[in-house]
Amino acid sequence: MARTIGSHGPTTLEAIRKAGVRLIFEHGYEAMSLRQLAAEVGIQAGSLYNHISTKQDLLFDLVQDHINDLLRELDLALEGKADPGEKLRAFVAFHVTYHMTRKREVFIANSELRSLDAKNYDAVVALRGAYEQRLAQILTDGVADGAFEVVDIQVATFAILALLTGLCTWYRPGGRLTRDAIIAAHEKLVLSGVAPRAAIGQASHGSDSRRAAVAGS
């Protein structure tokens, strides 16, 4: 039997939210019942309504808070960064780190978007758009400065986000690579993907020259 937590407002609400994240992650929003949620927290099902209005409101609050956290913490990570390359590296490091440590929230925000009603869906999509716009602006500024070469900003934005978020499907703590190594690998993938072709050509020529020097020594 679940431990009874009681009806202390903030404490119980936090327990409900944590249990909601775990149950939705494990079973899906549609399969999770409020009775199951109440049992997990250790309160009567009817007592849930002292803390949440509906199951839909709980899902919306969880997803909305997740994206608001994402935006707030990203802005802190970008604070003081002026150079587009530095900003893009900071974006990659932040996004990868956040998605390593908040996998459940990320999964719910992506997979349960379909479960939101129309009004809540529109609000979440607007927040997601604000996050995407942060990256799009970094790419736009980099192109204007000549630091990046991007054929289409929107396509590049979606492609980079898909690449970075993809680690949620395979990352496991304690694996072969350290967190820093995983971040570095993603930084290299993203930065090389937007580097001007002239810079790539120069780097390739330098590598060829070094190989030729070694071969001739």
- What distance in Å separates the CA atoms of residue 151 and residue 2, rounded to the nearest whole number? 55
The pLDDT averaged over each successive group of 10 residues in the chain (217 residues) is 48 93 95 93 89 94 96 96 95 95 91 95 96 97 96 97 90 85 96 80 49 46
Collapsed DSSP state (helix, strand, coil) of residue 171: coil
Contacts of 192 (CB under 8 A, 6+ apart): 200
Torsion angle in degrees (nearest 10) through CA of 174, 176, 179, 185:
-160
Residue type, 79: E
* Distance in angstroms (rounded) separating the CA atoms of residues 176 and 28: 30
* Amino acid 172: pLDDT: 80
What phi and psi values does residue 91 have, to the nearest 5 degrees?
-60, -50
Residue whose tokens read 């802190």? 76
Q: What is the pLDDT of residue 4?
A: 41
Residue indicated by tokens 């690449």: 163
The packing angle between helices 153-165 and 118-145, to 10°, is 110
> According to the model, what pLDDT value does residue 157 have?
98
Exposed/middle/buried for residue 76 (C-beta within 10 Å: 0-12, 13-18, 19+): exposed
What are 40's two structure tokens?
A: 């997990």
Spell out the domains of the chain, with CATH numbers in brackets.
1-52 (1.10.10.60), 55-211 (1.10.357.10)
Chain CA centroid to CA 64, Å:
13
